[in-house]
Amino acid sequence: MGFISFPAAAGVAGFGFVLLAVVINVAYVRGRLPLPVGAKDFDAVAASFAAVGDALKKPSVAAPAGWVCTTVFAAGMLSVLWRGGSGPEAWALVGFAGVLMQNVAFTCVEALRFGMASAAERDRDSVAGLWSLSNVLFGFNQVFLAIALFGFTVAGASTGLIPTWHSWLGYISAALLFVASATSPYNADGANRTALIGFLGWLGWAGWIIACSVALLRY
């Protein structure tokens, strides 16, 4: 970029992703928009999607920018952690793959929301299958966050980029997200019994990214 190094740009992207994620989720909550595994009965879910209108579109406008930020952040992590070879630093490849898979999976989750809104306006019964698909996919998506956290944490700890406390944050958050992902089939109806586990894992993921972004800015 000329005036900023690539690792620093990746650090800025990491901060950008966390900021966008918070803004988008706040917009969903404030707008009372239906969310995957929202613990609502099906009739309430269908009614919410039928009435959502253009409110669904506004927060989704920022979603592509978030995926760009995570990709740049992950590429920056890979660039400083792995320089070839098959040592512990190669786990950064696993971390990078996890971020890419997460972006693909969450793109599908985001698109499914529009499918459910359209179906709810025309044939409410058709929302049921899409709702279950969205819930399980949203839950399974957490395993990709766990993969990203684990891969980058192993590589980062081996190179000294990530200190001990940061490593523990990464491993614990990865474990929480994996558990939440593994129980996704039991949350197909929207009654998420592991919501707190997944939420804590996501908070750890966000905090882990912020700490990594600071490290990248200093690199």
Give me the domain span that covers residue 34.
6-218
The reported pLDDT for the residue numbered 27 is 82
Of the given ranges (7-11, 55-59, 198-202), which has the lowest mean pLDDT? 55-59
Q: Is residue 153 domain-resident?
A: yes
pTM above 0.75, yes or no: yes
Q: Is residue 148 domain-resident?
A: yes
Q: Is residue 1 domain-resident?
A: no
Contact 192, 37 (CB under 8 A): yes
Q: Is residue 200 domain-resident?
A: yes
* Confidence band, pLDDT 50/70/90 cuts, at residue 28: confident
The reported pLDDT for the residue numbered 38 is 64
Total domain count for the chain? 1
pLDDT tens-digit series, residues 128-173: 888 888 888 998 999 999 999 999 999 999 999 999 999 999 999 9
